[in-house]
Structure 1
Amino acid sequence: MHSTTLHADNRAEVAAALAQDRLVVACLCAAWCGTCSSYRAAFEELAARHPDKYFLWVDIEDHADLVGDLDVENFPTLLIQRHETVAFFGTMLPDPNVASRLIDTIAATGEAELDRQAGSTAERRQWQQQCNLRQLMGTA
């Protein structure tokens, strides 16, 4: 496997990985969701295409204490973060090519531009306050 699945017994390991200097791509899903189950292979394919990034699979029901307040409207939902900046949070078509282009675009964007984008709308400012995985892992 190229991604990490969050479990109760690996939270410290995941928190340490999130603290590293690399782009984080997290898929927020649910075990009962058929779309999520079928997307899992595509997510692994994405992780294999981007070995320099950290891919994390999070079941939002198993880890409601961590992500319970996040507004996951549909599946799969991707959360992409660089350092403390949440660059993307939203539903993604279950197509690895679309996600790969998004990841490439964010990876090629400079820190200053990502920071500017993070504050550019009320929705993006809300992501910074509510969706930061580093902060959520630190408080869970």
Structure 2
Amino acid sequence: MHSTTLHADNRAEVAAALAQDHLIVACLCAAWCGTCSSYRTSFEELAARHPEKYFLWVDIEDHADIVGDLDVENFPTLLIQRHETVAFFGTMLPDPNVAHRLIETIAAQDDAELARLAASTAERRQWQQECNLRKLMGE
């Protein structure tokens, strides 16, 4: 499996995919970012290593209407979500092995543990309110 790139003409398809029961791994980048351009191949390799997960590439400038309020401080930024729980939102070293370990760690946690972690800090509670891709795509 490969990643999906969000475009204006596939928003309904992406929203339907996000509503399904699998881990979502989204990379928030910008077309002008050289680091993002070089990370794209690694992101595709991660998607191939995790075919049971949904990988989404989002250009934050092309889709500012969706991610405009998210505080993307640097690139690449990963957002990992299961159901309504945002498990991770932050800048990721452009190293596919680091991302792979993070994805594996989150995937191994059950829903109760993810919910506990989501409520464990003010920052993580804020992710639940502001970074939920399912909600952002539905608005």
Q: Deviation of residue 3 (structure 1)?
A: 0.3
1:124 and 2:124 matched: yes
Residue deviations 1:64-120 (CA, integer Å, cap 9, x gap): 000000000000000000000000000000000000000000000010000000000
Report the counterpart of residue 34 of structure 1 in structure 2.
34
| Length-normalised TM-score, structure 1 | 0.99
Partner of 1:35: helix, strand, or coil? helix
Q: Distance in 1 between the 2:20 and 2:98 partners?
A: 25
Matches within 5 A, 1:1-140: 2-139=2-139
Q: Distance in 2 between the 1:98 and 1:76 partners?
A: 12
Q: Over the residues paired in the alignment, what is the CA RMSD in angstroms? A: 0.6
Q: Distance in 2 between the 1:76 and 1:19 partners?
A: 24
Q: Deviation of residue 46 (structure 1)?
A: 0.2
Give the fraction of aligned pairs with identical amino acids, expressed as a percent.
88
Structure 2: runs of 5 or more not aligned: none
The letter for the 2-side match of 1:120 is S
The letter for the 2-side match of 1:11 is R
The letter for the 2-side match of 1:98 is V
The letter for the 2-side match of 1:81 is Q
Q: Distance in 1 between the 2:117 and 2:105 partners?
A: 13
The letter for the 1-side match of 2:98 is V
Q: Deviation of residue 4 (structure 1)?
A: 0.1
Point out 4+ residue stretches in structure 1 off by more than 4 angstroms.
none
Residue deviations 1:4-44 (CA, integer Å, cap 9, x gap): 00000000000000000000000000000000000000000
